[in-house]
Amino acid sequence: MMSVRHGLLALLLEQPRHGYELRAEFERRTGSTWPLNVGQVYTTLARLERDGAVEGGEENDAGQKQYVLTGPGRAEIEQWFATPVRRESRPRDELSVKLALAVTAPGVDVRAVLQTQRTDSLRALQDYTRLKARAGEDDLAWLLVLDGLVFQTEAEVRWLDHCESRLVRARAAASPPPAPASVPARQQAHR
Amino acid sequence: MMSVRHGLLALLLEQPRHGYELRAEFERRTGSTWPLNVGQVYTTLARLERDGAVEGGEENDAGQKQYVLTGPGRAEIEQWFATPVRRESRPRDELSVKLALAVTAPGVDVRAVLQTQRTDSLRALQDYTRLKARAGEDDLAWLLVLDGLVFQTEAEVRWLDHCESRLVRARAAASPPPAPASVPARQQAHR
DNA sequence: ACAGCCATGTAACTTGTTACATGATTTT
DNA sequence: AAAATCATGTAACAAGTTACATGGCTGT
């Protein structure tokens, strides 16, 4: 995490900016996915100033309060860019947790959970494709983010399919003793 | 988010349990990825009790404080299973943000960022494969989680490659005017 | 006796997030 | 004049997370 904190630092690496401008830039780059509340920019800036990463003294020609990176702030953001994002440092994946617990929870239809999620993920995929068509060639950052969403969502759908087939195999192995090879037991087709 | 909260509720759906047991079960299902601090189980249980989702009155035969689901708690967890995890409700993806901002940040070598991340992701992929080999066939939940990590990480690597080629294309389009078709400019091969 | 696990909890903190208040400037 | 946008901020809270305190019980 700390995406917002580091995001703001990264924007300040380009030039001094004021709060409202930071929000606009941040949203322009990352697209309207994950909209950023303006209030959060100010709270985050206050925390950054508290930590000595930025300074927010001087005012603009207009009455706008400019924030500038300090030395430690520059070090922090450079460190961020130089360090890979590790999976252990990311928040727990809610979908993984859900499925891991759904497989043994009583009264929970895992197939239904999978199906609901797949439907929604496929719908999301369509949305992204539509957005990509509308996004111009110019906005490189936004295009990359969108591509990332597409890649992630495609992987999610593949994983859901994979879960389903693994579940089927697990149940086949669990409930009936190995069926005779000659009669390929007709699973009940519907429901 | 709320993975821990809902995770605990899901475990309580199976049977009443006490705090320490909840941690053990949670970690067993989701594997040692994202380890769960015991303290967090108790803070989360306190919040769940505050919200009327669980009740933690009775003590075990041993001196263990058992927690049980309440009606509203049951409703909440069933709602969780019935609702897909939407991308908008997930935390901002730190890697997406990083790359979106890296492409225009001055003095930041995007290729280096991509390369560092790719190296780490590939290493993670190896770790997961090793873990999968060691995990028994029995632990279905843990296997599914691991598969999820593999799918996610593979998608990430593909995305990083995709970003690199898009960057190359964008720079080719930006810096030199379209090269004559007859001389298929030999890109420098190494480094 | 000591190490180590079982077990429960609390204090303190971080980041993320929203709802609200307030005013200036610009557009309609 | 009214509506919208620019602009700054604060109060309050949610969820995650860790470090620490405390005690019982078990095996060596």
Minimal Cα–Cα distance from A132 to chain B, Å?
14
- Looking at residue B137, what is its pLDDT? 72
For chain B, give the percent of residues with pLDDT over 90: 77
CA of A181 to C1' of C13 (A): 62
Tokens of A60: 């603009």
CA of A37 to C1' of D2 (A): 26
Domain limits for position A76: 4-82
DSSP of B75-139: HHHHHHHHS---GGGSPP-HHHHHHHHHTTSTT--HHHHHHHHHHHHHHHHHHHHHHHHHS-SS-
Alpha-carbon distance values, B21 to A54, B52, B56, B140 (Å): 45, 21, 14, 19
Per the structure, the residues numbered 69 to 108 in protein chain A that have their CB within 7 angstroms of any atom of strand C are: none
Report the alpha-carbon distance of residue B54 to residue A55 in Å, rounded.
Answer: 46
**Judgement on whether residues B100 and B165 belong to the same structural domain of the protein:** yes
User: How do residues A31-87 score in pLDDT, each as one tens digit?
Assistant: 888 999 999 999 999 999 999 999 988 777 778 999 999 999 999 999 999 999 999
**Which residues in chain B are closer than 8 Å to A101, comparing Cβ atoms?**
7, 10-11, 29, 141
**Judgement on whether residues B169 and B96 belong to the same structural domain of the protein:** yes
- Looking at residue A174, what is its pLDDT? 75
Whether the per-residue pLDDT at B159 is higher than 50: the answer is yes
The structural domain count of chain A equals: 2
Tokens of B126: 């190896």
Report if residue B188 sits inside a domain: no
**Which residues in chain B are closer than 8 Å to A124, comparing Cβ atoms?**
86-87
**Judgement on whether residues B144 and B95 belong to the same structural domain of the protein:** yes
**Judgement on whether residues B68 and B102 belong to the same structural domain of the protein:** no
Tallying the residues shown for chain A, one arrives at 191
Provide the 8-state DSSP code for B65: B
* CB of B18 within 7 Å of some strand D atom: no
The verdict on a CB contact (< 8 Å) between A152 and B93 is: yes
**Judgement on whether residues B74 and B127 belong to the same structural domain of the protein:** no
